[in-house]
Amino acid sequence: MTVTRNTRLVLPVRAPFRLGLTAWVLRRQPHNAIDCWDGTSWRRVLALPGGAIEVAVRQAGSAAAPRLLVTCSRPLRANERRQVRALLRTTLGLGVDLADFYRRAHGDARLEGLVQAFIGMRPPRYPSLFEALANAVACQQVSLNVGIVLLNRLAERYGLRAGGGFAFPRPRDLAPAQPADLRALGFSLAKARSLLELARRIVGGQLDAGSLERLDPDAVRASLMALPGIGRWSADYVLLRGLGRLEVFPVGDVGARKHLGLWLTARRTLDDAAAARRLRAFAPYAGLVYFHLLLHRLAAGGLLTGAAR
Q: Is 103 contained in some domain?
A: no
136 and 235 housed in the same domain: yes
Q: Which amino acid is at 281?
A: A
Q: What sign does the CA torsion over 299, 305, 308, 309 have? A: negative
End-to-end Cα distance, the chain:
36
137 and 51 housed in the same domain: no
> How many angstroms separate the CA atoms of 248 and 105, rounded?
17
Partners of residue 15 on adjacent β-strands: none
Q: Is 174 contained in some domain?
A: yes
Per-residue model confidence (pLDDT) at position 268: 87
CATH number at residue 236: 1.10.340.30
| Structural domain boundaries enclosing 189 | 129-241
152 and 203 housed in the same domain: yes
Q: Which amino acid is at 167?
A: A
Q: Is 193 contained in some domain?
A: yes
Asked if 228 and 136 count as a contact pair (C-beta separation under 8 A), the reply is: no
Per-residue model confidence (pLDDT) at position 7: 77
CATH number at residue 46: 3.30.310.20
Q: Is 46 contained in some domain?
A: yes
Q: Is 26 contained in some domain?
A: yes
Q: What are phi and psi of 63, to 5 degrees?
A: -60, -30
Boundary-marking domain end, from 207, 241, 275: 241
Q: What are phi and psi of 159, to 5 degrees?
A: -85, 150
**Number of folded domains in the chain?**
2
Asked if 260 and 278 count as a contact pair (C-beta separation under 8 A), the reply is: yes
- Alpha carbon dihedral 125, 101, 108, 66, in 10-degree steps, equals 80
Q: Tens-digit pLDDT profile for the chain (309 aa)?
A: 344 445 799 999 999 999 999 999 999 999 999 999 999 999 999 999 999 999 999 999 999 999 999 999 999 999 999 999 999 999 999 999 999 999 999 989 889 999 999 999 999 999 999 999 999 999 999 999 999 999 999 999 999 999 989 999 999 999 999 999 999 999 999 999 999 999 999 999 999 999 999 999 999 999 999 999 999 999 999 999 999 999 999 999 999 999 999 999 988 889 999 999 999 999 999 999 999 999 999 999 998 876 655
137 and 233 housed in the same domain: yes
Q: Is 21 contained in some domain?
A: yes
Boundary-marking domain end, from 48, 77, 97: 97
- Other CB atoms within a 10 A radius of the CB of residue 51 amount to 12
The CB-side HSE value for 147 (13 A sphere, CA atoms) comes to 18
Peptide bond into 284 cis (omega under 30): yes
Q: Is 45 contained in some domain?
A: yes
Q: How far is CA 13 from CA 43, 82, 125, 245, in A?
A: 18, 16, 16, 21
Stated as kind and residue range, the H or E segment containing 133 is helix 129-138
Q: Is 56 contained in some domain?
A: yes
